[in-house]
Amino acid sequence: MKKASIPAVISTAVICYIFWLLISGGLVALCKGTPDVRNMIVGLVVSIFVGLFSAKFFIHENSFYLWNPARLVQLLIYCIFIFPVELFKANLDVALRALNPALPINPGIVKVPVDLKSEYGEAMLANSITLTPGTITMDIVEEDVPVEETVEPLEGESPEDAAAAVSVRTKKQTFYYIHWIDVATEDPKAAGDMIKGTLEKGVRRIFD
Amino acid sequence: MRIVVDILIVISIFFAFAGVVGMLRMPDSFTRMQSSTNIATMGVLGVIIGGAVYAAFGLHEPEMVVKLLVLGVFYIITNPISGHAICRGAYKHGVRPKKEMKCDKYGEDMVEDK
């Protein structure tokens, strides 16, 4: 297990402290002008200890990623505007399906490519998809796929040789297996556009 | 204010009802999971937001509002993880739907790996 770095401990402790203040009522007391000093100091000590012990499980990439205000604003926009809209649409769709006497379901598992650089982004998108009714992420895999490029054959080289040279090159591509209640298309790209909708763009703005 | 709270709670009750009906009617475990996320999202969020609005403007208790919202956030974070784990575990354990699925890329790829 990798050892936790100091920035990771600081980030974890800050998050823990924020939740301590929210849940114990310290923040409300502070806003009212009657801060509970003892409560806040105890919370700080506890948060630092929790950060020391749990940072190595919690943070693997750049620790100060979300400390950038622009990213925080994007995160808030995602949580308040983009995601609830998708959530409501999908909810209505599945509710009407369940109440429809004919039960128009057409389930299946599709494989969908995802282009996100960060692990957090991938996890967040997968959880968003699972939380949306009608789709559940079943697994995430990383596979080598051939890079599709058309290259002009060089001089004195037959087209078959050029094609062989191209097909060797591969790149890492992440795939989700998604259980979908109404399979409209089995084509990975089109299914991905239908399932992810605006979610992937929102996540990419936060984490890439 | 009271009307807003009532509307939110009625919406969430409608979605919870639809989710329960779906759970009873769906043919296999995976589609039942789908229907249960219906309850888990709008059904719970409507009640939580309705309660937060009532606590803010009816009871004037900011602490209660903060706690309800934190509850909602943790609910949203933890729920999809369990849903994903249950679904994947069921599939790996060998649960298969009675009605044939339209396409099953996951099963095809698992066979290829073996």
pLDDT band at A123 (very low <50, low <70, confident <90, very high): confident
More confident residue, B58 or B9: B9
How far, in Å, CA of A196 to CA of A175, rounded? 13
Higher model confidence: residue A164 or residue A124?
A124
pLDDT of residue B107: 65
**Whole-structure pTM over 0.90, yes or no?**
no
Number of A/B CB contacts below 8 angstroms equals: 133
Amino acid B114: pLDDT: 47
Phi, psi of A62 (to 5 degrees): -60, 120
Long-range contacts, B42-45 (Cβ 8 Å, 24+): B42/A87, B42/A88, B42/A91, B42/B11, B42/B12, B42/B15, B43/B12, B43/B13, B43/B15, B43/B16, B43/B19, B44/B12, B44/B72, B44/B75, B45/B12, B45/B72, B45/B76
Using the Cβ of A107 and the Cβ atoms of chain B, whether some distance falls under 8 Å is answered with yes
Measured CA to CA, the distance from residue B52 to residue B70 in angstroms comes to 11
User: A133 vs A34, A95, A163, A190, B61, CA distance in Å?
Assistant: 44, 9, 43, 19, 33
Distances (CA, A) of A70 to A59, A76, A78, A128, B18: 20, 10, 12, 21, 39
pLDDT at A143: 74
**Sequence-distant contacts of A47-52: CB under 8 A, at least 24 apart:** A47/A13, A47/A14, A47/A16, A47/A17, A47/A20, A48/A9, A48/A13, A50/A12, A50/A13, A50/A16, A51/A9, A51/A10, A51/A11, A51/A12, A51/A13, A51/A16, A52/A4, A52/A9, A52/A13
SS3 of A170, please?
Answer: strand
d(CA A30, CA A37): 9
Residues of A in contact with B38 (CB under 8 A): 91, 94-95, 98, 133
Most confident of B3-12, B77-86, B102-111: B3-12
Sheet of strand A108-114: strand arrangement: A108-114, A170-180, A135-146
Find the range with the poorest average confidence among A29-38, A140-149, A196-205.
A140-149
Query: With an 8 Å Cβ cutoff, are A177 and B77 in contact?
Result: no
Q: What is the pLDDT of residue B62?
A: 81
Helix (H) or strand (E) holding A139: strand A135-146
Our CA-based measurement puts residue B7 at a distance from the nearest CA of chain A, in whole angstroms, of: 15
Residue A70 clears pLDDT 50, i.e. is over it: yes
Q: How far is B77 from chain A (nearest CA, A)?
A: 8
The pLDDT mean for chain A works out to 77
Q: Which residues of B touch A107 (CB under 8 A)?
A: 28, 30-31, 34, 97, 99, 101-102
Chain A residues in contact with B22 by the CB 8 A cut-off are: 94-95, 97-99
How far does Cα A152 stand from its chain's mean position?
38
Å between A171 CA and nearest CA of chain B: 19
Query: Of B82, B47, B52, B78, nearest to B65 (Cα)?
Result: B52
Res A97: pLDDT:
82
ipTM: 0.77
* Per-position DSSP letters for A143-161, written without gaps between them: EEEE-----PPPTT--HHH
- Per the CB < 8 Å rule, is A110 touching B103? yes
The share of chain B scoring above pLDDT 70, in percent, equals: 84
